[in-house]
């Protein structure tokens, strides 16, 4: 990022979320986002490909975090424990951005095109987790299924966190989802 | 459907898939699909809202099948068994349309906008399964997690079926995915 644009990405992200919440995603233009963030539209497009991507900044970092956490787990850690720890850690990243996460979740839930993009983000997280598990020697379909369950716990835990007004840490909600699934798998 | 248009929906669906495979989704227009199917564009839009929906005909029937199968399971059937049976049954519906399913999967995988729509379809299946489980008295987050695992087994089993050249019945692939996940959950 250029030195003369301190936190331009962050300003654009917050401006976009504000506008989507105020007037709706479809009604908002990139020109409006740029104006509110105090940048030119050209600058906007240097950072984000379109109107959706501005709400998915940092997705690649989360994917890298999932892959790295799984890769770094000790050799004797079971696949579901490694994947579970990775998604608990990803969830933990959201705890520092509670308000943003809750407002973003509301906008995404209300906007079909953002919901689709969110599902694509989760599918990418699943693919990265499955690849990291395969690198640990976990064969398919186990690697894919364990990665799916990790993402599922993240989704379900995140939804519970939002629905409950963020009463407990989101990492705890994700852990609970995994624990509950293990119990169901044993029935 | 009108009497004077025998299998118009089927013709449109096949025409769309052929065109998407031949020249790509983005390059295909609804006018071209209508022409190849021997209907007017107006007829096309009477059946499908846009260029994507034509490849998602029958999604509501699959959602209903999932919900019904879970609802019809005997009271003493465990949640994961009820959900598993529902998604094995949905998979079974694809066995009669092997060639179509394989060609459709290739087009969806190659087209980001269709991938997003496919993920939305799976999310709807998950929501219906979770609601059906809640109706059986399964609380959250268990209902959501079990529904997620059912969809995950469907996805992973379907992918294995396609990747293997449809060597074994897709229902068996879905069953295997569930069995493998249960084993992982016990580790």
Residue A1: predicted pLDDT: 46
Average pLDDT over residues B40-50: 95
C-alpha span between A49 and A133 (Å, rounded): 31
Average pLDDT over residues A55-79: 94
Predicted structure pTM score:
0.91
Residue B3: predicted pLDDT: 47
Q: Token match 């021997």: residue?
A: B38
Average pLDDT over residues A131-145: 96
Query: Cα–Cα distances in Å, from B157 out to B100, B165, B178?
Result: 17, 12, 9
What's the ipTM? 0.90
Residue of B145, B159, B182, B187 best to disrupt the A interface, most CBs of A under 10 A: B145
Inform me whether the pLDDT recorded for A4 exceeds 80: no
For B137, phi and psi rounded to 5 degrees? 95, 10
- Residues of chain A with C-beta less than 8 angstroms from the C-beta of B180: 141-142, 145
C-alpha span between B23 and B35 (Å, rounded): 15
Average pLDDT over residues B50-73: 94
Inform me whether the pLDDT recorded for A186 exceeds 90: no
C-alpha span between B86 and A131 (Å, rounded): 28
Residue B58: predicted pLDDT: 86
Q: How confident is the model at residue A142 (pLDDT cuts 50, 70, 90)?
A: very high
- Extents of the domains making up chain B: 8-54, 58-186
Inform me whether the pLDDT recorded for A45 exceeds 90: yes
Whether B48 and B73 have beta carbons less than 8 Å apart is answered as no
Inform me whether the pLDDT recorded for A3 exceeds 60: no
Report the gap between the CA of B80 and the closest CA in chain A (Å): 7
Whether B173 and B161 have beta carbons less than 8 Å apart is answered as yes
Q: Which H or E run includes A107?
A: helix A98-110
- Which residue, among B182, B178, B147, B152, has the nearest Cα to A183 in the 3D structure? B182
Whether B181 and B149 have beta carbons less than 8 Å apart is answered as yes
C-alpha span between B155 and B184 (Å, rounded): 18
Inform me whether the pLDDT recorded for A7 exceeds 80: yes
Inform me whether the pLDDT recorded for B186 exceeds 90: no
Inform me whether the pLDDT recorded for A2 exceeds 60: no
Residue of A87, A157, A185, A187 best to disrupt the B interface, most CBs of B under 10 A: A185
pLDDT tens-digit map of A115-131: 999 999 999 999 999 99
Fold of the CATH domain A58-186: Tetracycline Repressor; domain 2 (1.10.357)
Residue B5: predicted pLDDT: 58
pLDDT tens-digit map of B122-176: 999 999 999 999 999 999 999 999 999 999 999 999 999 999 999 999 999 999 9
Q: Which residue of A has its CA nearest to B153?
A: A145
Report the gap between the CA of A116 and the closest CA in chain B (Å): 5
Residue B150: predicted pLDDT: 97
- Which superfamily is assigned to B8-54 in CATH? Homeodomain-like (1.10.10.60)
Residue of A115, A145, A164 best to disrupt the B interface, most CBs of B under 10 A: A145
Same fold, B8-54 and B58-186: no
- Residues of chain B with C-beta less than 8 angstroms from the C-beta of A84: none
- Give the list of residues 6+ apart from residue B72 with CB closer than 8 angstroms, or none: none
Nearest to B152 among A116, A149, A184 (CB): A149
Average pLDDT over residues A53-62: 92
Inform me whether the pLDDT recorded for B4 exceeds 60: no
- What is the SS3 assignment for B119? helix
Interface check B176 vs A, CB under 8 A: yes
Q: Which residue of A has its CA nearest to B121?
A: A116
Average pLDDT over residues B64-85: 96
Residue bearing the bigger pLDDT, A7 or A19: A19
- Give the list of residues 6+ apart from residue B149 with CB closer than 8 angstroms, or none: A148, A149, A152, A181, A184, A185, B80, B83, B178, B181
């Amino acid at each position: 990022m250029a030195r003369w644009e301190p936190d331009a990405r962050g300003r654009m992200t917050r401006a976009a979320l504000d506008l989507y919440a105020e007037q709706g995603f479809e009604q908002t233009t990139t020109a409006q986002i740029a104006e509110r963030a105090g940048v030119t539209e050209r600058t906007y497009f240097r950072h984000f490909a379109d109107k959706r991507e501005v709400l998915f900044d940092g997705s690649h970092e989360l994917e890298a975090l999932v892959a790295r956490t799984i890769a770094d787990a000790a050799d004797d850690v079971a696949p579901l424990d490694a994947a579970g720890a990775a998604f608990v850690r990803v969830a933990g990243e959201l705890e520092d951005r509670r308000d943003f996460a809750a407002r973003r979740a509301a906008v995404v839930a209300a906007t079909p095109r953002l919901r689709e993009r969110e599902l694509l983000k989760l599918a990418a997280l699943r693919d990265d987790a499955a690849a990291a598990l395969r690198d640990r020697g976990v064969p398919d379909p186990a690697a894919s299924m364990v990665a799916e369950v990790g993402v599922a716990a993240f989704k379900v835990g995140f939804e519970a966190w939002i629905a409950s007004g963020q009463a407990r840490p989101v990492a705890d909600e994700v852990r609970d989802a995994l624990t509950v699934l293990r119990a169901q798998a044993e029935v």
